[in-house]
Structure 1
Amino acid sequence: MLVFYAITMGPIIESILIIFITKLVGKFTKNKFKITIITAILFACGHTYSYEYKFLIFVPSLILVCSYVLYDNKSSKISSFSIMTIIHSLYNLMQILSTELIYYYLVN
């Protein structure tokens, strides 16, 4: 069940949160670079596992926010929300698979 959440529901909910933060930051500046950096920092800080994890999650957060900001185009066939959610789901899947493989080879 946790794997299902990490690959489907987690990315959807967090993508909605990223859009909300992006739009909120966008009220204070129109500079896409500033919006991207500030949103990624705020999103990373929202992960409360540890300070190290906040630091480690910044780069993936930056990639997710960039995918939303850069693809935020109404004429595109696929929405920026969908692109960001797919990237997020694939990232989570890779994390789960790599963790399982490492665990499998270290334990067996």
Structure 2
Amino acid sequence: MKIRVPSNVADAFDHFDKIWHTMTQDSINLMLMSFPSVRTEDPNALVLKEYANKYPTRYIRALADGYVRELDLHEEVSKLINEWIDTPYVEDKKQDIKMFADKITNHIKENL
């Protein structure tokens, strides 16, 4: 099962996958496993180093099983609210509020 990681960690993993695209996955994983113990100034490496040192098991599991970006629930709900505010009522106000609640509930169920 893939491990949920914060967006900045997913971005850092993606960065190294992209720049090391010619390497085998085993070689990439070996390089990523060294980050917690090496000195670096690279901002992406620093993100992974900090995450690996704080959550070593999750870091190793993300390497072994893969990862998905964590859902930022606050950001997702904010987007849905803005979309709802900017859209005229489809039905009456009461029905539209129910439809909006259904939309938020479904979105959360699909992404959690």
Question: Does the alignment reach a TM-score above 0.5?
Answer: no
Asked which structure has the greater RCO (Cα within 8 Å, sep 6+), the reply is: 2
For the aligned pair, the TM-score class normalised by the smaller chain equals 0.3 to 0.5
More strand per residue: 1 or 2? Answer: 2
TM-score (norm 1): 0.33
So what's the TM-score if we normalise by structure 2?
Answer: 0.32
Structure index of larger Rg: 2
More helix by share: 1
